[in-house]
Amino acid sequence: MADVETLTKDELKARMGTDRRWTLRVLDPSERHLAKDPGNVPWPEDCLIVAAFDDQDVLVGRMALIAIAHIEGTWVAPEYRGTTLPLRMIQRMESEIRKLGRTHVFAYIPKEDTKLLEYAEKIGYQEFPCKVYVKEL
């Protein structure tokens, strides 16, 4: 991210009250091209894009809410562990995810689970180069 300006709550409130040189709106699916991703990554059909436009209707900011496909809740009965069942399940899940038009899938794995981390890397998963943050709303 470029330079980030840090403001106190009072400074932010003051600025929000006087710096209204933009309009925020949710883009209609037919307008998604207006918020083109710099890396040319296509927006998923089910995403929500909030865009900011200046008084000349020029895009000056955008943010997208994307439902991230991630594999969750994997369980295999003890007597089937060590077989090809887990791999076959993953392959089928990935196939179904592709059918949904997704190009990537996430797998959240605890750092302590070295065995699962090694397995994920063995079948082509790569560590994502960022930290994940969460905020309760």
Tell me: the pLDDT tens digits for 6-20? Answer: 667 676 566 555 456
Nearest Cα neighbor of 90 from 106, 102, 68, 101 is 106
User: Which residue has better confidence, 93 or 17?
Assistant: 93
**Residues in CB range of 55: below 8 A, 6 or more apart:** 21, 22, 23
Sheet holding 22-26, edge to edge: 22-26, 48-54, 59-65
CA-angle at 92, arms to 108 and 117, nearest 5° = 30
pTM of the predicted structure, to 2 decimals: 0.64
